[in-house]
A and B are shown apart, each in its own frame.
Chain A
Amino acid sequence: MVYWNDEFHQVHSPILRYGLAVVLVAISVGIALVLQAHQFRNTELPVLLLVIGVVTWYAGNGPAVLAVLLSSIAFNYLFVEPLYTLYVSLRELPYFLIFVLAAVLVASFSAVRRRIEDNLRHARDRLQIELEQRQQRETEVRKLNLELTARAAELVAANKELESFAYSVSHDLRAPLRHLVGYSELLQKQASNSLDDKSQRYLQTILEAGKRMGNLIDDLLAFSRIGRTETKATAVDLQQLVADVVSEIGTQTKGQDISWKIGSLPVCYGDRALLKLVLVNLLSNAVKFSGTRCPAKIEIGAVDGNADKSEIFVKDNGVGFDMQYVDKLFGVFQRLHRADEFEGTGIGLATVQRIVHRHGGTVRAEGMLDHGATFYFSLPKAKHPIERTVSAA
């Protein structure tokens, strides 16, 4: 196949192809004449037909027509009675016509064969191109795959680094802090009699600062752990969960007059422990910031959300906040109140936001200074209502 293709491609220019036709017809006529001179009879017909076939095969249709024409004329002039005229006698007419017919037939067979050959070649070329394209695509896919694997490995490495960072924070940062606080206390005990009031107060400040830093580190570690732990999603009955959290918080707020109002809450899909952390943070915030109210009113309910998400709100009548600073509310260690007003490290709402985001939900807040605050969070709904009974069981 390759051999034939090479043959085709050798004869490209039209001059060469028509030249080939003329030369080959001339040579064949020459051979026929030589054969006739040596008393071989009737050789001109097959020799000329052979040449027409060859010309059609190698040079294409146009040269084939030329070859048929030239050989018909040569045949008529040299081999058909009367010789050396273009006139055909009636007796020789069938012989001449048969020659022309045979020449045309050979040429057309050759042409058809050539056309089929051409088509096959084109089809093969197309296949070849397609194959190359497919190989190219495959290489691309493989390259992308490799990149993806590398990216995943990088991510794993980064995660590991983060983990070891948190680990060394937990180990190495706490140790000096413990010493700071420990030795300050030892000093306080040892030298309490020889220190004046001012020095005692300085020492007390060192101690409190150390303890506060300990709380900050613990909170930060807990916060980073939320991002690293795997979530186990199940159907969670918020009604039940809120009731649990309220009764837990209630035991810690014995002295405070709180009126709780709990609306009807949906079943959501998420990690029960993390969602509980969200509620604990929001409800204890509500309790903390309405501590000056008597009675404190805290309301928990659900807003009619869209089809696949439920929105829950926690509303209090506490000190509220200025809406101007609403976008700072959910930042890590962001506080809108002075430390001596309300205690806390400022990580609670950041934790809430992180957990809700991990569940694919959103958080927002509304508030007014001295008129309470409302915190909203959305969660994906549980798919089937039957899951409430399952989770309750």
Chain B
Amino acid sequence: MSELGRILVVEDDPRDVELTLTALDEYKLANEVVVARDGKEALDYLYCREQFASRSNESPAVILLDLKLPKVTGLEVLKQIRSDERLKMIPVVVLTSSHEEKDMLRSYQLGVNAYVVKPVDFHEFVNAVKELGMFWAVINQPPPGSAKKVL
């Protein structure tokens, strides 16, 4: 018996969302995915505000975070998560197009758990997302208080 952790995908591009969900679907991980379309929505979800006000107060098992987001950028979201006593244990994986050393450095300085550059090649992209989903939502034991579904 294994457990499936909830994945929060923070991604503004609908096509990237679709590709990510397609990739996760191959491992049947897609039905436990929450999508936030910008940094503000991600923070709203994490703090159970506005349209997420009625959700149960469990943290996701992992956050897949894009860096370039409208309103609140990925780095700002990461900073906020790491400075909050309740949220700071959530594993965060940056999943970005940016190859820039500056972004990588800043992310690790802010305490990211992994930094993955979205590969241009579709197979590599699908594999990267699948493996991320598999590892963080199934293999990894998330911190206590995370949303889990018994398979």
Show the binding face of A for B, using Cβ within 8 Å. Answer: 166-167, 170-172, 174-175, 177-179, 181-186, 210-211, 214, 217-218, 221
Contacts and interface: CB of A to CB of B under 8 A. Distances in A.
Contact of A178 (B16, B98, B99, B100): B16
A211 B123 contact: no
Which residue, of A174, A182, A211, A218, has the highest number of chain B Cβ atoms within 10 A?
A: A182
Contacts of B100: 166-167, 170
B15 A183 contact: yes
A171 B97 contact: yes
B68 A171 contact: yes
Contacts of A167: 98, 100
Given A175-B16, A181-B120, A186-B22, 20 more contacts: A167-B98, A170-B98, A171-B68, A174-B97, A175-B13, A175-B97, A175-B118, A178-B16, A178-B19, A178-B118, A181-B122, A182-B15, A182-B19, A182-B122, A183-B15, A183-B19, A211-B120, A214-B120, A217-B120, A218-B99
B125 interface: yes
Given A170-B99, A186-B22, A178 B68 contact: no
15 contacts: A167-B100, A170-B100, A171-B96, A171-B97, A172-B97, A174-B97, A175-B118, A178-B16, A178-B118, A181-B122, A182-B15, A182-B122, A184-B122, A186-B122, A221-B99
Q: Is the interface of B mostly helix, strand, loop or mixed?
A: loop
A166 B98 CA distance: 10
B120 A174 contact: yes
A171 B98 contact: yes
A211 to B, nearest CB: 6
B83 to A, nearest CB: 25
B4 to A, nearest CB: 25
Interface of B: 13, 15-16, 19, 22, 68, 96-100, 118-123, 125
B98 A179 contact: no
A172 B120 CA distance: 12
Contact of B123 (A166, A175, A185, A217): A185
B121 A181 contact: yes
Nearest to B23: A182
Contacts of B15: 179, 182-183
Given A171-B68, A171-B97, A214 B121 contact: yes
A174 B98 CA distance: 9
B16 to A, nearest CB: 7
Contacts of A182: 15, 19, 122, 125
A255 to B, nearest CB: 25
B119 to A, nearest CB: 8
Given A218-B99, A221-B99, A178 B22 contact: no
Contact of A179 (B19, B68, B96, B99): B19
A185 B100 CA distance: 27
A178 B123 contact: no
Contacts of A166: 100
Nearest to B96: A171
A313 B125 CA distance: 40
B138 to A, nearest CB: 24
B124 to A, nearest CB: 10
A237 B17 CA distance: 49
Nearest to A173: B97
A173 B19 CA distance: 17
B22 to A, nearest CB: 7
A172 B16 CA distance: 12
A166 to B, nearest CB: 8
Contacts of B118: 174-175, 178
Nearest to B19: A182
A177 B19 CA distance: 13
A170 B118 CA distance: 11
B126 to A, nearest CB: 8
A221 B102 CA distance: 14
Given A182-B19, A182-B125, A183-B15, A177 B120 contact: yes
B122 A185 contact: yes
A172 B96 CA distance: 11
A139 B16 CA distance: 59
Contacts of B121: 181, 211, 214
Contacts of B13: 175, 179
Nearest to A175: B97
A212 B123 CA distance: 15
Nearest to A222: B99
Contacts of A178: 16, 19, 97, 118-120, 122, 125
Contacts of A185: 122-123
Nearest to A184: B122
A181 B126 CA distance: 12
Which residue, of B16, B119, B122, has the highest number of chain A Cβ atoms within 10 A?
A: B122
